[in-house]
Chain A
Amino acid sequence: MRAPAVLMLSIALAWGCLSGPAREAPVESLRLSQVEPQGDPVRRASLRLCAEGLRADIARRDGPARSQYERAIALDPTNPWAYLVLARHEVAVGDPRRALQYLQQAETLLRNEGAFIPGVEPHVEGLRGAALVASGRPGGEHLRRAAELSPAVWDDGRLDADELL
């Protein structure tokens, strides 16, 4: 009885290996409004500053937007979302090198918090790809993965502020 079961398991495994990496099902990318009510008062205040910043970004007020993000970090320096929205801002205003630094910080904090969940991954992948491409480095793979994970947001290869709010 045991051999057929093992055989089937082996076939299944082999099939998985031969057919290459599975195309992952799209996920619903996370928005700030979904995490905004979470955390202690410091985190909540910090997230709300991030949201204010995104609104300023939507209104194309770069300076105030960045100020809000920086304040959000000052209030809660361990808030990964503050670095993520700042990374998005830097990509949008054309400073991809800086964006990559913020993104690294965001990813580290997200992973440490156990918050690197499927809904976040397309943002991190996509922003990394966009920043790499903008800085003249190969980043297409990251962009493709972001589009695969979250086509609704990343099909155009960019993350608008309102898509994160």
Chain B
Amino acid sequence: MALGIAGAAFVGGWLSAGWVVSLDGVVRQRFGGQRFRVPSRVYSAPTIIYPGLDWKLIDLEGGLRRLGYRRVAESARLEPGQYIWDASRVRISVRAFAHPSRPEPARDVVVRLSGSSIEEIRELPAGREIWALPLEPEQIGAYYGPNREQRDLVVLDELPPHVIDAVLAVEDRRFESHAGLDPRRIAGALIANLRAGAVKQGGSTLTQQLVKNFFLTPERTFRRKAQEAVMALLVEFRYDKHEILQAYLNEIYLGQRGATAIHGIGEASRVFYGKSARRLSVAEAALIAAIIRSPNGLSPYREAESAVKRRDLVLDLMRRQGRIDDAAWRGAKAETLRLAAVTPDVGDARYFLDLLRRQLSSVYSEDVLASEGLRIYTTLDGRAQRLAARALREGLEDLEKRYSGLATQEPERALQGCLVAMRPQTGEILALVGGRDYGDSQFDRCTQARRQTGSVFKPFVYIAALEPRGVGPKLTLASFVDDSPLEVKTPSGPWRPRNFDREFHGSVPVREALERSFNVATARLGQDVGIRRVIELARRFGVTSPLPEVPSLALGTAEVSPMEMVRAYATLANGGVLPEVQAIEDLVGKGGKTLERRRLRFERVLDAGTAFLATSMLRGVAERGTAAGLRSNGLRGPVAAKTGTTDGEHDLWLVGYTPELVAAVWIGFDEPRSIGIPSSVGALPIWRRFVQELTGGEIRGKFRRPPEVTVADIQPATGWLALTGCPERRPEFFLKGTVPRITCPTGAVSDVQGDDSPAVRRRFFDWLRRQM
């Protein structure tokens, strides 16, 4: 019997030892390796403010709030992340921005306002004038792991003592002295719970809480409780208090922000107060410590009164335990709750985040992005993104209201659209909205969809004809094209293009053919130039989608993505220079080292003169042609654009540009069916609204005429060069050396070029010879 008991004890002892050893292995593995998964954060491009900027247009105060800046009373002494706004000036305590190559110091500045304009910016107290002040980039998203945990790691030694004191006062006052378990606390909790007849008080030490969160499931069983106790002892045995406390402060769950879980003091400080945990006040630290017990039930956003009540309890505990003196206690208790604004969603930047993820996936795995805490600085303009998302969403809703046949109750069958905007000179993506609602559909119609382009492809045909290759261009802007019936033989039978209005218009000026988007004239021009040449040109413009060599290609029957089209049009806005698409500015590792840095890349693919002629034609489309509606809301300044409506009105496009912005809007159903309206009604208002709101209705810059282009008067009816006596005339642009030779009014041939072309020089020497 005794032998049996001894044997059982021996076996039990071995089993227990084995269990403890296995738990020890778990502790060492987790604590010794990477303790935390830190999601990579993604940031927009910084907003730069400067004298002369319209602060109302950019919504300066809204921007500050989105960055977590807090408005304080005029008398207040400013702390980083706060601002004082009065009638004619804003004092901002700008936070420091840590970045390996473009760090910004914390500094107080005063921004003087005059009307809606920023008059000047000066640094305080020295008064040095600041010409351009970058604010920190706005976080637009993060790459989470499956648990969607968000944290901002803190280092214990960098925290003010009252942050630690607040946590210890309420969660584990004997943390420094116990060995992982606190018998007095357990006994106290037991008595309190027996008296209450329910579980009212926990007996867990801070180490036990850490173990529970780190290693165990939330189930309440004796076995799990035993595991927790043993592991707490093992953690205390293997690691020092400093390490345990730091791990705790980074691990502790402190509530939700949307679908994201806030973990750790650092993240809570950033979310609640818009500041680093290093700068938390006593009252702020006490509030964070107060909500540890019930992060959602005591959320300072939803349950402010309860949260403040418990904060005061924490402050009382701190004073009672001698962790703060009376003065600090009084000051903290008097402090009102001031929370940072809840940052609204940055215009559904999730399509953009997906694009980045796809671009980064070849180098950084999903797991690395979700755990390594990279900082990804992007080209996205937060304001442009918000405006783009709103313009698309409300534009589609408006169409559904006006055309009831477009509305549906099934989100997967809803009318869809996308909007992408780019800076033409650099290829930087400023806004990308891949669909009307990311929640319903994650498919990015700007980068992943290829749709028939319709007439937005036509400029390639005209550019191919305008571009001088070898013998000179086939067309000038004074030329006429033939819009009479056309039949082209194809392997599948004769192809007879028709115009939208079912009419033929005979010989029409080339500008009119594009402005009114005549199909027959364009198809004929495509045949004259050669479809192969049109394809070659589109390829030079960065179009990579398959382009079948068929006559109808000239009318946009090929399927191309909006991103390809926006880049191609960017090339025109950029004077014939194709930019490489840029989404990332740089990527910084968790050690603060730059891992990737974008380099702007561009390539000239078209001479500046022809690019200008194309822009001039597309300006005509926006002034007089199918995109003339762009002006209807008072949009001022240079715009070039082209509409596109495919057969059966399955796809509606508007691709357009200003000297500094190019944007494409596409509208259609994912499973193509007729929308029943032209692009001027469907896509154009969305583009117009976006650009109007982004620019304030006043577009900056000019489409400048390059030196290769000259101006000459022509007779509109004939395209002849208008000389004195010609009854009608209008100026037209020409590549140098291509001014018409037939002159109005006589119809005689002339070599007048109005420039220094070889013909002019030849005539000079002829004159000289005659004189001699």
Chain B residue nearest to A74 in the complex (CB): B45
Contact of B52 among A2, A44, A101 (CB under 8 A): A44
Q: Which of A135-153 contact B (CB under 8 A)?
A: none
> Of B33-41, B161-169, B193-201, B419-427, which stretch is located at the interface?
B419-427
Of listed A3, A48, A67, A102, residue having the most chain B CB within 10 A: A67
Q: Is B555 close to A, CB under 8 A?
A: no
Inside 8 A of B659's CB, which chain A residues have their CB? 78
Report the stretch among A21-29, A108-116, A119-127 that lies at the interface. A108-116
Closest to A67 in B: B102
Identify A101's interface contact among B45, B428, B602, B706, CB under 8 A: B602
Q: Tell whether B131 is near chain A: CB-to-CB under 8 Å.
A: yes
Does B701 reach chain A (CB closer than 8 Å)?
yes
Q: Which of A45, A63, A74, A112 contacts B423 (CB 8 A)?
A: A74
Residues of B within 8 A of A41 (CB): 50-53
Known: A49-B132, A63-B101, A67-B101. A74 touches B701 (CB 8 A): no
Determine which residue in B101, B585, B704 has the highest number of CB atoms from chain A within 10 A of its CB, and name it: B101
Least Cβ–Cβ distance between B658 and chain A, in angstroms: 11
Contact A108-B608, Cβ < 8 Å, known A40-B52, A41-B52, A71-B134: yes
In the bound assembly, the distance between CA atoms of A40 and B46 in angstroms comes to: 21
Given A40-B700, A112-B575: A105 and B102 within 8 A (CB)?
no
The proximity string for B residues 591-606 relative to A, scoring 1 for CB distances below 8 Å and 0 otherwise, is 0001000011111100
Is B771 positioned at the interface, with any CB of A under 8 Å from its CB?
yes
- B705 within 8 A of partner (CB): yes
Beta-carbon nearest neighbor of A73 in chain B:
B426
Given contacts A64-B102, A71-B132, contact A102 B600 (CB under 8 A): yes
- Of the candidates A3, A7, A78, the one whose C-beta lies within 8 Å of that of B425 is A78
Q: Which of B46, B100, B131, B700 has the most CB of A within 10 A?
A: B131
Is A75's CB under 8 angstroms from B132's CB? yes
* CB < 8 Å neighbour of A105 from B51, B101, B425, B700: B425
Cβ A104 vs Cβ B577 within 8 A: yes
Closest Cβ of chain B to A117, distance in Å, is: 13
Q: Which residues of B contact A75 (CB under 8 A)?
A: 48, 50, 132
B660 within 8 A of A: yes
- Chain A, residue nearest B46 (CB): A71
Report if A105-B53 is in contact (Cβ < 8 Å); known contacts: A66-B101, A71-B48: no
Interface residue? B772 (CB, 8 A): yes
Query: Taking the complex as formed, is B707 at the interface, i.e. its CB lies under 8 A from any CB of chain A?
Result: yes
Answer whether A111 and B707 are a contact pair too, CB < 8 Å, given A6-B772, A10-B768, A64-B101: yes
* Known pairs A71-B134, A75-B48, A77-B425; A108 contacts B577 (CB<8 A): yes
* Chain B min CB distance to A154 (Å): 24
The interface bits of chain A over 78-107 (1 if a CB of B lies within 8 angstroms of the residue's CB, else 0) are 100000000000000000001001101100
Interface residues of A in 35-50 (CB under 8 A from B): 40-42, 44-46, 48-49
B700: nearest residue on chain A (CB-CB)?
Answer: A42
Contact of B53 with A112 in the complex, beta carbons under 8 Å:
no
Across the interface, A63 reaches (CB within 8 A) one of B53, B100, B772, namely B100
Contacts of B577 in A (CB 8 A): 104-105, 108
Nearest CB on B from A109, distance (A): 8
Distance (whole angstroms) from the CB of B113 to the closest CB of chain A:
14
In the bound complex, residues from chain A placing their C-beta under 8 Å from that of B100 are 63
**Mostly helix, strand, loop or mixed at chain A's interface?**
helix
Alpha-carbon distance between A40 and B706 when the two chains are bound, in angstroms: 21
Which residues from chain A contact B701 at a C-beta distance below 8 Å? 78
Are A49's CB and B101's CB within 8 A?
no
Known: A78-B701, A105-B425. A112 touches B131 (CB 8 A): no
A12 to chain B, nearest CB (A): 12
Q: With the chains together, A10 CA to B707 CA distance in Å?
A: 30
CA distance A29 to B659 in the complex (A): 28
State the Cβ distance, A100 to closest chain B Cβ, in Å: 11
- Which residue of the partner chain, among B131, B425, B704, B771, contacts A48 with CB atoms under 8 Å? B131
- In the bound complex, do residue A45 and residue B50 qualify as a contact, i.e. CB atoms below 8 Å apart? yes
Q: Which residues of the partner chain B approach A9 to less than 8 Å between Cβ atoms?
A: 768
Interface residues on B, range: 35 or more
A-chain residues with CB within 8 Å of residue B704 when the two chains form the complex: 112-114
CB distance from B649 to the nearest CB of A (A): 35
> For residue A111, which residues in chain B have a CB less than 8 angstroms away from its CB?
608, 706-707
A87 to chain B, nearest CB (A): 11
Q: How far is the CA of A98 from the CA of B580 in the complex (A)?
A: 13
B235 to chain A, nearest CB (A): 42
Give chain B residues whose Cβ lies under 8 Å from the Cβ of A78: 425, 659-660, 701
Q: Which of B544-589 contact A (CB under 8 A)?
A: 575, 577, 585
The proximity string for A residues 51-77 relative to B, scoring 1 for CB distances below 8 Å and 0 otherwise, is 010000000000110111011011111
Q: How far is the CA of A100 from the CA of B50 in the complex (A)?
A: 30
Chain B residue, CB-CB nearest to A7: B772
Q: Which partner residue on chain A sits nearest B765 by CB separation? A: A13
Bound Cα distance A10, B102 (Å): 62
> How many angstroms between the C-alpha atoms of A113 and B575 in the bound complex?
12
- Complex CA–CA separation, A9 to B706 (angstroms): 33
Please report the C-alpha to C-alpha distance between residue A75 and residue B50 in the assembled complex, in whole angstroms. 10
Q: Which of A64, A77, A113 contacts B424 (CB 8 A)?
A: A77
Q: With a CB–CB cut-off of 8 A, which chain A residues contact B132?
A: 45-46, 48-49, 52, 71, 75
A70 to B706, CA, bound (A): 25
A111 to B700, CA, bound (A): 19
* A18→B705 CA distance, assembly (Å): 35
Pairwise interchain contact A49-B131, C-beta atoms closer than 8 A: yes
A24 to chain B, nearest CB (A): 18
CA A10 to CA B769, docked complex, whole Å:
10
Question: In the complex, what distance in Å separates the CA atom of A71 from the CA atom of B426?
Answer: 12
Residue of A nearest to B131 (CB): A48
Inter-subunit contact B599/A98 (CB<8 Å)? yes
Contacts of A109 in B (CB 8 A): 575
Closest chain B residue to A65, Cβ basis: B101
Q: Which of B198-234 contact A (CB under 8 A)?
A: none
Closest residue of A by beta carbon distance from B133:
A45
CB distance from A85 to the nearest CB of B (A): 13
Alpha-carbon distance between A48 and B677 when the two chains are bound, in angstroms? 48
B131 with A45: CB separation less than 8 A: yes
| B52→A77 contact, CB < 8 A | no
Q: Are A2 and B50 in contact (CB under 8 A)?
A: no
Q: Which residues of B from 1 to 49 have beta carbons under 8 Å from A?
A: 45-46, 48
- Distance, CA A2 to CA B603, complexed state (A): 53
In the complex, per-residue mask of B424-456: 1 if CB is within 8 Å of any chain A CB, else 0: 111010000000000000000000000000000
- A3 shortest CB reach to chain B, Å: 8
B-chain residues with CB within 8 Å of residue A2 when the two chains form the complex: 771
A94 to B602 Cα, complex, angstroms: 18
Tell me the B residues contacting A by CB distance below 8 Å. Answer: 45-46, 48, 50-53, 100-103, 131-132, 134, 423-426, 428, 575, 577, 585, 594, 599-604, 608, 659-660, 700-701, 704-707, 768, 771-772
- Pull 22 A–B residue pairs with CB atoms less than 8 Å apart, ordered by A: A3-B771, A3-B772, A6-B771, A6-B772, A41-B50, A46-B132, A52-B131, A63-B102, A64-B102, A64-B103, A66-B101, A67-B101, A70-B585, A71-B46, A77-B423, A98-B599, A98-B601, A101-B600, A101-B603, A104-B577, A105-B425, A108-B706
**10 A-B pairs with least C-beta separation:** A41-B52, A63-B101, A45-B50, A48-B131, A67-B102, A77-B425, A112-B704, A45-B132, A6-B771, A67-B101
Additional pairs, 10, CB under 8 Å, beyond known A40-B52, A77-B425: A3-B771, A10-B768, A40-B700, A48-B132, A49-B131, A63-B101, A64-B102, A66-B101, A74-B45, A77-B660
Give the interface of A toward B (CB within 8 A). 2-3, 6-7, 9-10, 40-42, 44-46, 48-49, 52, 63-64, 66-68, 70-71, 73-78, 98, 101-102, 104-105, 108-109, 111-114
